[in-house]
Amino acid sequence: MTTKLTIIITLVLIAASLCAGWLLWDRLPEQVASHWNINDEVDGYMPKVWGVLLLPLISAGMLTLFLFLPAMDPLRTNVAQFREAFNLFIVFITIFMLYIHGLTLAWSLGYLFKMSSALLPMMGLLFIIVGWMLKQAKRNFFIGIRTPWTLSSDSVWDKTHRVGAVLFMASGALTIIGGFFGGITAFWMMFAPLIGSTIFLLFYSYFLYRQETKDNSRA
């Protein structure tokens, strides 16, 4: 997917979400749901104007960052090597953000459902997309598993990201399954693998770097 097509798709999606909010404006309550607790109960509200505008605006801001930050990267030529995968990630995370926007509007219109069951399958799919992108990512300062040791070595970066890709995809699959349970079970099926994977990859990248350093000192 080209960067130009990525921009077009994401802007169309953001514009569509804003139009949906505008068309539904008169039907929405003055306070719309903004947060659900672990038991799928609404425990936070915000003014209608922010319920309509907030997530589309955040999506537009994220698009701007995703487009300009890699261009500032000293290793931007490496980013170019997996740009198509990164562009697909940009489109999908925009879809994910606007999906949350749609769920929020639907709930505020009176359509009651278990938020975790509606949200987690899409979140799990996002983790799988992230894992797929990580497998192709090359060393850079903005995208990927950035530890001092992955940033110091192409070899450590590549090995860490190959393992990280598998872990993120597995975490995504568990998150999707967790959506069928909801509540505290879904919470732990999402966060436990992610936290465990993050800690493991931190130490794994350090181990690889130390091993590479030892091998180079013997050469």
- For 100-113, what is each residue's pLDDT tens digit? 999 999 999 999 88
32 and 14 fall within a common domain: yes
Number of domains in the chain: 2
47 and 122 fall within a common domain: no
109 and 121 fall within a common domain: no
List the domain range (segments joined by +) for residue 151. 114-219
Residue 54 pLDDT more than 90?
yes
**8 A C-beta contact, residue 132 and residue 169:** yes
pTM given for the model = 0.91
Residue 187 pLDDT class (50, 70, 90 cuts): confident
35-49, 140-154, 192-206: the lowest-pLDDT one: 35-49
Residue 219: what pLDDT? 60
118 and 102 fall within a common domain: no
Cα distances (Å, whole numbers) of residue 161 to 117, 126, 168, 204: 30, 17, 10, 10
109 and 1 fall within a common domain: yes
119 and 109 fall within a common domain: no
Residue 1 pLDDT class (50, 70, 90 cuts): confident
